[in-house]
Structure 1
């Protein structure tokens, strides 16, 4: 980053921005709208780093023309000898498997055999790496089993009660069904015909947990619509709290924080933001200008007000709220068969749907 600031004026501004903003440790994943722009970026970024004595290599792309433009010694070893007709390889992007041929993310469940104990269950749950939350509803069940062991005071290597052992074995064996999932990496398939962008955040809570999910809705000039999953979270109910209304508010806080993070990281200019909850109480909390709340509620309402605008909050029916799946949990088979969590609710796919005209809850 220092080199980009010191000598960046010799190179294109996009290469400077790439080096400054798109690197995480030694990985630099990024996307560009055209082949020409991508080739120019790679060339400028390599030269920029070379001036500092840094070799920027192991490049891979989902486009063969881009790969061909990169010297073989700078490519990832999987594509150094790429020939016409060869399929593009599977690579890891910050630890997540990506099929370059189809430009999609997927999961391979190579679960080591672990003892059926609290230690083994924790190891298995943590071995499923899913930072974006594609599998969050499924992982909630595994976390709930682990929480149940903690609640009962089960030691790290103590025998697991039979009821939890049965649930655990069924959940673990079910994970292999997730290998058929394919999630498109691109969230703006056509970047040249975009009319407007919208971020939709859904939040919800139940007695099992609370969660939120976010989607990017792209409207095109020809009237087309595309909705893409961006991120999602599912958290188990805290052991010391069983008041669902407060958890609904906590879930809304997560939505507000996630939105601030996404707008910063995705750098989406002019994006419209909407927040959806099926809790009328939460909306009343946020709309109230006179009532004084207890500290727990007051702090969270203030945080939400600091990060969002009140006219961005909308009411959604529980049956249309995809975050309901994140806070109640799903089996792997259910996630595969009913991918609403990944695709978003049907109503935001409607071409004529206008969030600004949705009536707020009374």
Structure 2
């Protein structure tokens, strides 16, 4: 608790020096799951004349169900949690920023496959979650992030209070968001290629 008392988190999501009318605003939501919990976090990315800021908007974590689920199913539950968080903040932000872009990120290849697949014969659990996710988001808005770059990993696995600072990725977002979109993680020939 003493360590956390020292922690200072910026409350302003957009620098006052970034004029709203000239600032490009994006929402990025990351999802992840482990055998103990699943979580999602949303960041606001503001870019003005080459300067970029990334701020945590919201995060939520839930303990994995007592009835043992596979990690793949938990990843799907994390994606649904991420959509719920993103939907709320995209709706609020679109009132001020009509051309807002939003992206959803997961490190699960299975979740991406299910969301992009046109197949309909899935187990009821998977098909129900898939329908709920796609009712609130488009499959084209989902991107793959390598596990080691996924800030939601901290919400699903936990971190020590001593590791947490205002610059830690769980609060400041992944470093690649401060770069241009061409430098974000990309898929090349079916494999993920980190270009940062």
Q: TM-score, normalization: structure 2?
A: 0.88
Greater RCO between the two (CA within 8 Å, min separation 6)?
A: 2
1:312 aligns with 2:141: yes
Residue-by-residue CA offset, 1:272-312 (whole Å, 9 max, x unaligned):
01000000000000011024111111011001111111110
Question: Residues of 1 paired with 2:166 and 2:83: CA distance?
Answer: 30
Per-residue CA deviation, residues 313-336 of structure 1 (Å, 9 max, x unaligned), is: 000000000000100011211223
Shift of 1:243: 1.0
Partner of 1:247: 74
Establish whether residue 184 from structure 1 lines up as the match of residue 13 from structure 2: no
Cα distance change of structure 1 residues 332 and 357 upon mapping to structure 2, 3 Å threshold? closer
Structure (1 or 2) with the larger CA radius of gyration = 1
For 2:54, the equivalent position in structure 1 comes to 227
Alignment of 1:56-95 (within 5 A): none
2:32 matched to 1:197? no
| Distance of aligned partners of 1:361 and 1:196 in 2 relative to their CA distance in 1, 3 Å threshold | farther
CA contact (8 A) 1:253 1:304 kept: yes
Q: Which residue of 2 aligns with 1:327?
A: 156
Corresponding pairs, count: 186
Post-superposition offset of 1:195: 3.3
State whether residues 315 and 360 of structure 1, in contact with CA within 8 Å, keep that contact through their aligned partners in structure 2: no
The structure whose residues are more often strand, as a share, is: 2
Asked if 1 retains the 8 angstrom alpha-carbon contact of 2:107 and 2:145, the reply is yes
Cα offset for 1:236? 1.2
Structure holding more helix per residue: 1
Q: In structure 2, what is the equivalent of residue 273 of structure 1?
A: 102
Rate the CA distance shift 1:328–1:264 in 2: closer, same or farther, 3 A.
same
RMSD over aligned CA atoms reads 2.1
Question: Contact 2:144–2:185 at 8 Å: present in 1 too?
Answer: no
Q: Any gaps of 5 or more consecutive residues in structure 1?
A: 1-174
- Equivalent residue of 1:284, what SS? helix
Distance 2:35 2:167 in 1: 22
Residues 227 and 276 of structure 1: CA distance in aligned 2, closer, same or farther (over 3 Å):
same
Q: TM-score, normalised by structure 1?
A: 0.49
- Which residue does the alignment assign to 2:181? 353
Separation in 2 of the partners of 1:294 and 1:253?
Answer: 16
Shift of 1:251: 0.4
